[in-house]
Amino acid sequence: MPDQPRRPRTLSDARSEAEAAFKKVTAKVAEAPPKKSAIPNIKEQVTLRIDQDVLEYFREGGPGWQERINAALRKAAGK
């Protein structure tokens, strides 16, 4: 069976194809759900800027100064 001749493209065909292509690349991608800790009360390493005098105050108590800062922040957060 011989191939059928293609019909000429019309303006509406080109517009439909362009709109379909545009919609495909501009469609919103579903956002990933927020991360949840697999282990409760796990500590996360962060960078935090603290005034020098405040840092010295906590370090004067010796080892465990990071835990003391954490406890003070927890208390300030009402937890």
User: How is 38-69 classified by DSSP, letter by letter?
Assistant: SSTT----------HHHHHHHHTT-TTHHHHH
| Structural domain count of the chain | 1
72/37 Cα distance (integer angstroms): 22
3-12, 19-28, 47-56: which range is least confident on average? 3-12
- 11, part of any domain: no
- 9, part of any domain: no
Write down the pLDDT at residue 19.
86
Task: Give the pLDDT mean for 25-51.
Answer: 79
48/25 Cα distance (integer angstroms): 39
pLDDT at 29 over 80: no
- 71, part of any domain: yes
- 76, part of any domain: yes
Query: Which residue type, as a one-letter code, is found at position 59?
Result: R
The single-letter DSSP state of residue 1 is -
User: What is the Cα 42 distance to its own chain's centre?
Assistant: 19
Domain hosting 71: range is 44-79
- 70, part of any domain: yes
